[in-house]
């Protein structure tokens, strides 16, 4: 395989190479990459900004993560934050630092993923910085979105008796990670080729997640305004606790209402893992978790991609899960804590 050294291009050559095919999709993008900053026009709308730092060895493992998928996911995790504000992403900036182990082909694959996500979600890459690093790959993405004035949704608007809803299915990304880590370990010990057991669903949920653009569009079309919202990045348990703490409420979740993919459930049993625990503590699902007024129940029920999984209570009633067997357990925040 061809290998071009980044050093042969220099920084400006690299930037030119990486942005030569960058398209502008939004009328609001007045000035894109190639200057000190990007210019974004506004028409009486509000801007939402979100940013994330992803570091090799902490947030991702290149031994089983294709660089194109990583580029795609780096964008998705930020867009998901914008959607979780009930806003529509419009621009991103991308900073990357990379050691000399990365070739131009590797960085091009990474940016192919970035651009694929931009195209899929209709956003513009409007700036960024590239740098060498002493070790590994470092990615920092900032996403900017628009929302009609005062239509944005925070974590703190939930009130007692409101419904707790979630999009899609939970726990898949955690199972994908478990499978890939298992195969990595087996490969290290025995040299055996990875056997992903045709688990395309869970591997895909981890390596190439999608953000729930469709749900935010559906809110607008159906004039539904969630009262609180967050994306499921730390796990259902941790994330509903964020909503409850910031809203000053408690909650009740029903185990049998938590949506789970059938293939993923089978695979969890095979690994002797509890699917509910995967959903509660797994994280990285990038589904939308939100609360709505009871008047919206009928509309929510019509949407096959949404599940009502519980309701908000006064704070003094605490935060609980009602199990299939009818037992009541206090929720605990078990999200990934990468600082430990």
Binding to a second copy in span 111-130, by CB under 8 A? 126-130
Q: Nearest CA to 260 among 158, 129, 169, 124? A: 169
The answer to whether 14 contacts a second copy (rule: CB under 8 A) is yes
Only segment of 149-157, 171-179, 255-263, 273-281 that touches a second copy (CB under 8 A): 149-157
Please list the residues that pair with 244 across neighbouring strands.
none
The answer to whether 103 contacts a second copy (rule: CB under 8 A) is no
List CB contacts of 255: < 8 A, sequence separation 6 or more: 276, 321, 322, 323, 324
CA–CA dist 26, 24 (Å, integer) = 6
Q: Which of residues 62-91 bind a second copy (CB under 8 A)?
A: 81-82, 84-85, 87, 91
Shortest reach from residue 325's CB to a second copy, in Å: 32
Candidates 4, 22, 24, 46; binder of a second copy (CB under 8 A) is 46
Candidates 16, 23, 105, 135; binder of a second copy (CB under 8 A) is 135
CA–CA dist 115, 118 (Å, integer) = 5
Q: Which is nearer to a second copy, 166 or 252 (CB)?
A: 166
Q: Nearest CA to 160 among 85, 243, 86, 234? A: 243
CA–CA dist 38, 120 (Å, integer) = 21
CA–CA dist 65, 207 (Å, integer) = 7
Question: How far is Cα of residue 49 from the mean position of the Cα atoms in its chain?
Answer: 15
Residue 320-339 contact track with a second copy, rule CB under 8 A, x = bound: -----------------xxx
The answer to whether 192 contacts a second copy (rule: CB under 8 A) is no
Residue 25-44 contact track with a second copy, rule CB under 8 A, x = bound: -----xx--xxxxxxxxx-x
Residue pair 130/95 in contact (Cβ under 8 Å)? The answer is: yes
Candidates 19, 22, 24, 47; binder of a second copy (CB under 8 A) is 47
Only segment of 18-26, 137-145, 308-316, 323-331 that touches a second copy (CB under 8 A): 137-145
The answer to whether 108 contacts a second copy (rule: CB under 8 A) is no
Shortest reach from residue 130's CB to a second copy, in Å: 8
Question: How far is Cα of residue 202 from the mean position of the Cα atoms in its chain?
Answer: 15
Q: Which is nearer to a second copy, 90 or 313 (CB)?
A: 90
CA–CA dist 190, 139 (Å, integer) = 32
Q: Which of residues 236-255 bind a second copy (CB under 8 A)?
A: 246
Within 10 angstroms of residue 324's Cβ, the number of other Cβ atoms is: 9
Shortest reach from residue 134's CB to a second copy, in Å: 5
């Amino acid at each position: 395989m061809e290998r071009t050294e980044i050093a042969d291009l220099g920084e400006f050559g690299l930037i030119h190479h990486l942005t030569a095919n960058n398209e502008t999709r939004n009328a609001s993008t007045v000035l894109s990459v190639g200057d000190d900053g990007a210019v974004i026009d506004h028409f009486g709308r509000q801007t939402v900004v979100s940013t994330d730092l992803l570091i090799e060895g902490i947030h991702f493992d290149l031994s089983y993560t294709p660089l194109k998928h990583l580029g795609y996911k780096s964008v998705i995790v930020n867009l998901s934050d914008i959607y979780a504000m009930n806003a529509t992403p419009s621009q991103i900036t991308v900073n990357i630092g990379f050691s000399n182990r990365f070739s131009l082909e590797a960085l091009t694959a990474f940016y192919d993923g970035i651009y694929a996500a931009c195209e899929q979600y209709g956003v513009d890459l409007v700036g960024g910085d590239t740098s060498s690093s002493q070790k590994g790959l470092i990615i920092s993405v900032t996403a900017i979105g628009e929302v009609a004035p005062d239509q944005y949704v925070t974590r703190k608007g939930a009130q007692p008796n409101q419904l707790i809803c979630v999009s899609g299915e939970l726990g898949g990304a955690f199972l994908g990670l478990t499978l890939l880590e298992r195969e990595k370990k087996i490969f290290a010990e025995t040299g055996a080729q990875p056997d992903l057991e045709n688990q395309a669903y869970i591997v895909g949920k981890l390596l190439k997640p999608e953000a729930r653009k469709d749900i935010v569009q559906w809110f607008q079309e159906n004039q539904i305004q969630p009262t609180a919202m967050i994306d499921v990045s730390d796990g259902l348990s941790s994330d509903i606790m964020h909503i409850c703490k910031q809203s000053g409420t408690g909650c009740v979740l029903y185990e049998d209402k938590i949506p789970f993919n059938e293939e993923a459930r089978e695979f969890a049993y095979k690994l002797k893992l509890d699917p509910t625990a995967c959903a509660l503590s797994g994280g990285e699902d990038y589904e939308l978790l939100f609360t709505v007024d009871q008047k919206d129940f009928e509309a929510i029920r019509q949407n096959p991609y949404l599940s009502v999984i519980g309701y908000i209570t006064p704070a003094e009633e605490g935060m609980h899960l009602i199990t299939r067997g009818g037992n009541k357990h206090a929720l605990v925040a078990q999200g990934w804590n990468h600082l430990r």
